[in-house]
Structure 1
Amino acid sequence: MPSAAERTRTLVQSTCSSVLLVPGLEVVHPVQLMPDSRAVGPEGDLFLGFPADSPLVRAATHAQGDELTAVLEITDVAPVSVPHRIRGRARIGGWLTSVPGLAGPGRMMLRLEFGEASVDDLWGAESVEPEDFRDAVADPLVTHEAELLQHLHAAHAEQMATLSTLLGERSADGRTEGLPCAVPVALDRFGLRVRFVEGGTACFDARFEFPDPVRDIGELRRAMHTLFEAAAC
């Protein structure tokens, strides 16, 4: 399974929504707290882009020399329609400063020095150490995961349903109705997580591991082909 640091790094470098919270700072519109870009520096610090007139930019600029604490909260929502769509949340706390010259005209880059972090997702809840986050690498499928899950759900629904044949006793638990609806809910280099929905409300997850971790889309195609072949046998 991916480590907590890798999962957190993947969320930071994904397109998941996020907000940057500073204690005592109030804004008129919540969107003012949402960075329009996120990146991770070589030492594990976060670089967050905001409009130059953002309340967060003003707060960070005025606090130069003082310690301004902040927390970046990231919410991960499944890109497909499925019960319980929130897949996870991450919180990264640290100290906020402005970094002039790194952003284009009308924008400012804020640096969040990594202090502590935690992730609570489909794998469970864990804390993340600064050194582990610094050294972690985002999952190679992170930039394509949403479109891949949407494609599997829309174009391969019948093949997805056959995966229930790999569930062992769970696939033959006395139900007389049809097979449960199988929705691809998460994808990473180690495997595919599927949410099986029964009767419209009840659901359970199953994880299908790839024979070897995949490094790109080509290897993912071969791994999915192998998985569907196994389900069809």
Structure 2
Amino acid sequence: MGDRHTWTAAPAAAEHARSVLAAAWSCAVTAEGGREEFVGAHTVAADGRVLLHVPEDSALIAAAICAPRGEPSAILEFADVAPVPVRNRIRGRLWLSGWFVPDDGKLAFRPSRIVLRRPSGTVVVGLDDFACAQVDPLATAEAQLLTHLADAHPDAVERLTRLVEPDSLHGAVRVRPLAVDRHGLTLRIERARGNGDVRLPFHAPADDVSQLTERMHVLLTQASSAAACPRALQRQRTDGDG
């Protein structure tokens, strides 16, 4: 395939963490008094601080008031869930440990440690890096983009497998789009036993949906000139989601 791609970067850990935080709809909070799940209750400030809107009778409010100032007293957990149905849909997890401070009817969370677990491994994210990192411009649109690709264009997904090394497709029974960011598209290759992920980097980063469309067009053009798709993957056109 030669030098088909000239852009091979992937999101830095801090950027990835901020993107997980921006796209997450729910979070779990562990603090003195137990663990609570919150759905649609958090917002994120420009510097990455989490602002949590909780009921007046939540035990978190009392815990925030009584906790020693500046000492870690709570852990927030966010799951990075693939929007397209695949095996093992949890793509990663983000943990923030720190403390809450009451803030105008909300709880503002001040992190003291940030840990990101992703397929490439677990990494501690620097607090300054996290505060300064930019959210991936496609993060909040990713779910819609991937579900549209999977549901409306399964033929395009099949064609993209022509860019995958044959060894990675050995035993494959289904390929689905797993993730997309400004740097590239990731495919989930499901086999009879187990699964694996393959990343297709863009030739240049995409800063908005229109640029993403162009980057995808380039990949598909490259795929059209590649070797024919393995016959086993033709099943995707008729198998559906399974």
Short-chain TM bin: 0.7 to 0.9
Task: Return 5+ residue gaps in structure 2 as ranges.
Answer: 1-9, 226-242
Q: Find the partner of 2:191 among 185, 190, 198.
A: 198
Q: Find the partner of 1:3 among 12, 20, 26.
A: 12
State the 1:16 CA deviation. Answer: 4.2
Q: Find the partner of 1:26 among 18, 31, 34.
A: 34
Q: What amino acid is the match of 2:21?
A: V
2: CA distance between counterparts of 1:69 and 1:35? 22
Partner of residue 211, structure 2: 219
Mean CA deviation greater in 138-147 or 57-66: 57-66
2: CA distance between counterparts of 1:206 and 1:163? 11
Quote the sequence identity (%): 32
State the 1:204 CA deviation. Answer: 1.7
The SS at the match of 1:51 is coil
Q: Which stretches of structure 1, 4 residues or more, deviate above 3 A after TM superposition?
A: 61-68
2: CA distance between counterparts of 1:151 and 1:205? 20
Give the aligned length. Answer: 216
> CA 1:98 to 1:35, structure 2 compared with 1: closer, same or farther past 3 Å?
farther
CA contact (8 A) 2:86 2:176 kept: yes
Q: Does 1:52 align with 2:53?
A: no
Give CA-to-partner distance per residue, 1:154-186, whole Å, 9 cap, x none.
Answer: 01111101222112332675x6xxx74220001
The SS at the match of 2:139 is coil
CA contact (8 A) 1:157 1:182 kept: no
Q: What amino acid is the match of 1:211?
A: H
* Cα RMSD, aligned residues only: 2.2
Q: Structure 1-normalised TM-score?
A: 0.84
Q: What amino acid is the match of 2:95?
A: R
Q: Structure 2-normalised TM-score?
A: 0.81
2: CA distance between counterparts of 1:183 and 1:49? 36
CA contact (8 A) 1:164 1:171 kept: no
> CA 1:68 to 1:119, structure 2 compared with 1: closer, same or farther past 3 Å?
closer
2: CA distance between counterparts of 1:170 and 1:217? 32
The SS at the match of 2:140 is coil
